[in-house]
Structure 1
Amino acid sequence: MQNAPPPSSAALLLWDVFCRVIDNFGDIGVCWRLCADLATRGHTVRLWVNDASALQWMAPGACQGTWPGITVRPWEQSTDAAQLARLPRADVWVEGFGCELTTEFIAAYVYSTKARDTIDNRNPVWINLEYLSAEAYVERSHGLPSPVMHGPAKGWSKHFFYPGFTAATGGLLRESDLLARQHAFDLPGAKAHWLQGLGIDWAGARLVSLFCYEPTALEGLLQQLDSEPTQLLVTDGRANHAVQALLARRRVDGSPPWHKLQIHFLPRLTQHEYDHLLWACDLNCVRGEDSLVRALWAGKPLLWQIYPQDDDAHNAKLDAFLDMLAADDNLRGAHHAWNDTRPAPLPLMNLNSWSQTVQLARQRLLQMHDLTTQLGQFIAEKR
């Protein structure tokens, strides 16, 4: 089912969403999508973030307050008692990916006369929004309370909210207009027009997007893509640097040039424009969490580079995702080669088979309520 806006009788709430940017902008990407989706549904959101620089290109105007219903606030203001005293209290607190609220922020609410004397003296519903995984523990942990054992809010409870791929989880972020936007992009001429806006002339060649870290199988991928006319659309950042480094090494080594592969280096894209990139391409190489979800909604063959962890915990997470997809041996082998989890070269990719697999998974996932809808229902129950 496609998202539907909440009924007119649904309570419209004030949300405080907290995000600490660690690296790679995945945290801020997911948190911003949630904030934007909440605001579109009529809620009011304050996004507290330690580094909002990525929003300048991800969501232009966000930091300047031009997105209705959303205010972006510097993290350090959450420790300023004078600033906090002037703000209306929120109905919901969301800790993005386990970032912890500052003690000063919690204390400003707990000890405020305003909070105690208000007619509606319910405590905010406190959510720990977790990372996405297809592993079995997600279903077991989703929705569980976590008692606060110390500090100003001692005796309260947070609740774990897990995104996921089954009905026993919190689902995936999916805006109510996403399918309609994708349908409009699929109309004749729309893709070519969008590519032309990026300075890319397209006459029907295979299109591949590349958003990655530094996969050791990168050269093997590009060798395969050179088997037929292909235009590789490389995102800005680490993917750009990885390809540039590979090209420089090949020049030094005297490697022969590719004949059918044309490489385009893209500027930084807004979140909406990144959706367009995924819809345009015949294969999407994605990384992390946010782009994986968007690639699933795009419904095109995908190759996911998972965020590597020192203890190799990402291996089990990758296998769980492939199990969820019902991936065949070819798709599994490609993912393990791309993630360097098994000592084998990248197999010859069967994109037709991959397309069927992703389409079936997409159809299953569309039957679930999206994350924002489920989160709203969860909040209503706890209030």
Structure 2
Amino acid sequence: MAQPKTRWDIFCTVVDNYGDIGVTWRLARQLAAEHALVVRLWVDDLRAFERICPELDIHLDAQWQQGVEVRHWPTEWPETDAADVVIAAFACQLPSAYMDAMAEREKPPLWMNLDYLSAEDWVVGCHGLPSVKYKSVQKIFFFPGFQAGTGGLLRESGLLDRRRRFQQDPESQRQFLQALGVVPAPGAQLISLFAYENAGLASWLDVLAADSTPTHLLVPEGRILGDVARWLGVESLAVGDFNVRQALTVQVLPFVRQDQYDQLLWCCDFNAVRGEDSFVRAQWAGRPMLWHIYQQDEDIHLDKLDAFLALYGKGLSTEAAEAMNGLWRAWSAGQPIGQHWLEARKYWPELQENAEAWCLEQALQADLATALVQFYRNWI
């Protein structure tokens, strides 16, 4: 007789527009598709979710999307059974009635806090440790990460093979970009820009505009558009807007679904990304990148940034590492980065090789979804 499928509940409160839901939506789909699990994804903000899953009906409390039961997380919690595995994404607080339902189960569920991604050394020591306890139910810390002893990174089966085939197929890239209305000039470098507001942007755009190499800058809808508009001297920017300043072409793209964003990253020579979800996807693209880390009180995010740079740049020469580190640190501090960009360009082949080598190194670890499933199997 077949064993019943394990039921998983993932809870997501949308704090930073798309990062939280981006991670949990990828995870939920992978658990259902690759591990044959019954997955419910509880989300408090369906409007933000709709941006990355346009098929979503924001007026429904319950619906199925891509093999996942999507539930609206309401103010008034409905009576519902607790799942076998409960994931509180990014330390979100579960409804008290659901916590009671967990405690009432004959066998308590595995309750995990899926924490934020970090390269800091202490993560390895804390991964898998017990956290708080509610009645008979023990919460466990589960940390994604870049090193052995962590939960790894989200990576769907076959992702790097799909990326490699796409990057080796100029016609597929041309068709993808053309569908977005992007037709780069011959010889232009393609750069994607997805970032928070940043006072350091203007100096970078100045340098790109004055460069001898043409640049086509692709800017998906997002918080950086206001800074781009100010540099261009226009009141605002909208999807489809197209502006040329000397060697720099700026084009505003629509907010696209996750698989299309992956392909956008794969097309570009350089990707500026933000937060957590796009940060990980840029690493799988195997191209030089720039991370705008989410700002935290007392600048503790800069410790997180330095910890990642120490790992990511360990294969670089001293000079290339210093150039890259200077660029990343200035960007996350909101400082002018034009000169840092010019310095980093001196080591472009080395930065390209490092990006691909890092990608392949990270792919040697178990992916996050597989690590979660294995953790549950060990737990039972």
TM-score > 0.5 by shorter chain: yes
In the alignment, the residues of structure 2 paired with residue 98 and residue 209 of structure 1 have an alpha-carbon distance, to the nearest angstrom, of 31
Mapped pair 1:162 → 2:137? no
Which residue matches 2:217? 232
Which residue matches 1:51? 45
Deviation at 1:10, TM superposition (A): 10
In the alignment, the residues of structure 1 paired with residue 3 and residue 312 of structure 2 have an alpha-carbon distance, to the nearest angstrom, of 34
Deviation at 1:353, TM superposition (A): 2.6
1:220 maps to amino acid:
S
In the alignment, the residues of structure 1 paired with residue 76 and residue 379 of structure 2 have an alpha-carbon distance, to the nearest angstrom, of 24
Q: 1:369 aligns with which of 366, 370, 375?
A: 366
Which residue matches 2:100? 107
Mapped pair 1:382 → 2:379? yes
What SS does structure 1 have at the residue aligned with 2:196?
coil
Mapped pair 1:171 → 2:149? no
> Within 5 A, what are the aligned runs for 1:45-84?
45-63=39-57, 65-76=63-74, 79-81=77-79, 84=80
What SS does structure 1 have at the residue aligned with 2:119?
coil
* 8 A contact 2:127–2:150 mirrored in 1: yes
In the alignment, the residues of structure 1 paired with residue 271 and residue 4 of structure 2 have an alpha-carbon distance, to the nearest angstrom, of 38
2:72 maps to amino acid:
P
In the alignment, the residues of structure 1 paired with residue 180 and residue 234 of structure 2 have an alpha-carbon distance, to the nearest angstrom, of 27
In the alignment, the residues of structure 2 paired with residue 344 and residue 28 of structure 1 have an alpha-carbon distance, to the nearest angstrom, of 30
2:195 maps to amino acid:
C
Which residue matches 1:312? 299
Which residue matches 2:28? 35
- Taking a change above 3 Å as real, the CA distance of residues 269 and 143 of structure 1, as seen in their structure-2 partners, is same
* 8 A contact 1:93–1:126 mirrored in 2: yes
* 8 A contact 1:301–1:354 mirrored in 2: yes
What SS does structure 2 have at the residue aligned with 1:237?
coil
Q: 1:123 aligns with which of 84, 108, 112?
A: 108
Mapped pair 1:134 → 2:132? no
1:156 maps to amino acid:
V
Mapped pair 1:298 → 2:285? yes
* 8 A contact 1:210–1:284 mirrored in 2: yes
In the alignment, the residues of structure 2 paired with residue 304 and residue 157 of structure 1 have an alpha-carbon distance, to the nearest angstrom, of 35
* 8 A contact 2:265–2:282 mirrored in 1: yes
What SS does structure 2 have at the residue aligned with 1:329?
helix
Which residue matches 2:240? none
In the alignment, the residues of structure 2 paired with residue 190 and residue 54 of structure 1 have an alpha-carbon distance, to the nearest angstrom, of 30
Mapped pair 1:352 → 2:337? no
Mapped pair 1:216 → 2:218? no
Q: Which ranges of structure 2 fall in alignment gaps of 5 or more residues?
A: 237-243
2:193 maps to amino acid:
L
1:145 maps to amino acid:
P
- Taking a change above 3 Å as real, the CA distance of residues 346 and 43 of structure 1, as seen in their structure-2 partners, is farther
Deviation at 1:125, TM superposition (A): 0.6
In the alignment, the residues of structure 1 paired with residue 114 and residue 120 of structure 2 have an alpha-carbon distance, to the nearest angstrom, of 16
Q: How many residues align?
A: 353
Deviation at 1:189, TM superposition (A): 0.5
Deviation at 1:55, TM superposition (A): 2.2
What SS does structure 2 have at the residue aligned with 1:128?
strand
Out of 364-373 and 10-19, give the one that drifted further. 10-19
* 8 A contact 1:62–1:71 mirrored in 2: no
Q: Which ranges of structure 1 fall in alignment gaps of 5 or more residues?
A: 1-8, 116-120, 252-256
TM-score by length of 2: 0.87
In the alignment, the residues of structure 2 paired with residue 105 and residue 122 of structure 1 have an alpha-carbon distance, to the nearest angstrom, of 15
In the alignment, the residues of structure 1 paired with residue 3 and residue 150 of structure 2 have an alpha-carbon distance, to the nearest angstrom, of 22
Mapped pair 1:247 → 2:244? no
In the alignment, the residues of structure 1 paired with residue 226 and residue 201 of structure 2 have an alpha-carbon distance, to the nearest angstrom, of 12
Q: 1:280 aligns with which of 267, 273, 296?
A: 267
In the alignment, the residues of structure 2 paired with residue 101 and residue 264 of structure 1 have an alpha-carbon distance, to the nearest angstrom, of 41
What SS does structure 1 have at the residue aligned with 2:273?
strand
2:172 maps to amino acid:
A
Which residue matches 1:339? 332
What SS does structure 2 have at the residue aligned with 1:159?
strand
* 8 A contact 1:337–1:345 mirrored in 2: no
Spell out, residue by residue over 1:89-147, the C-alpha distance to the aligned partner (whole angstroms, 9 max, x if none).
41100000000111111213434xxx4xxxxx422110100000000111010000124
Which residue matches 1:4? none
TM-score by length of 1: 0.86
Which residue matches 1:195? 177
2:151 maps to amino acid:
G
- Taking a change above 3 Å as real, the CA distance of residues 133 and 11 of structure 1, as seen in their structure-2 partners, is farther
- Taking a change above 3 Å as real, the CA distance of residues 204 and 191 of structure 1, as seen in their structure-2 partners, is farther
1:242 maps to amino acid:
D
Mapped pair 1:182 → 2:182? no
Which residue matches 1:118? none
Aligned CA RMSD, in angstroms, stands at 2.3
Deviation at 1:290, TM superposition (A): 0.7
* 8 A contact 1:315–1:341 mirrored in 2: no
